[in-house]
Amino acid sequence: MSEGEVFHEKQRLELCAIHALNNVLQERVFTKETADDICKRLAPQCVVNPHRSVFGTGNYDVNVIMAALQSRGLSAVWWDKRRSVQSLCLEKVQGFILNVPSRVSLGIVSLPLRRRHWLAVRQVNGQYYNLDSKLKSPTCIGGESELRSFLNEQLSQDVAEMLLVVQREVEEDGSWLTPDDPRK
């Protein structure tokens, strides 16, 4: 990847968790095989693994994402949606992984179903990007105020959730929150 380029994996099968991980890390680190290995470690005695699709197409859960990040010395901090995104200390956050509702489609036909979808947001070269694997290319969100607006919009959906991707020590000391947040 040359300087100025934004790494962006596109959607394949139900591998959005893998794509979100790689997109937030800005390199191809995880594959279906590494995610399946994590699933086996998380539930070694299970015939039907509860952390992925029974069809073997992906659809990995949050436990796989958290274990994958831990294997890279990172942590996932579950964002409490009752907090304002204004309380985020953005310079301490490497990226964001969101779980949002997504329409199901067969080719060009959109079905009246909603599924869960993982997507990544990250700063690259001073700008924040929506790195959703369903997009044709990364979408520039802009600076910090545009990012906070984007995150507010995403989190306003009832079932949307957000993970902060941070260094382990940032999780441990809680420095991902601004110092003046009373709920720290």
Task: Enumerate residues 6+ apart whose C-beta is below 8 A from 44.
Answer: none
The answer to whether 158 is a known catalytic residue is: no
Task: Enumerate residues 6+ apart whose C-beta is below 8 A from 113.
Answer: 103, 104
Which residue among 61, 80, 132, 181 is the active-site one?
A: 132
Which residue among 16, 19, 39, 51 is the active-site one?
A: 16
The answer to whether 80 is a known catalytic residue is: no
Q: How far apart are CA 123 and CA 167, in angstroms?
A: 15
Q: How far apart are CA 4 and CA 127, in angstroms?
A: 11
The answer to whether 8 is a known catalytic residue is: no
Which residue among 8, 19, 51, 117 is the active-site one?
A: 117
Q: Please list the active-site residues.
A: 16, 117, 132
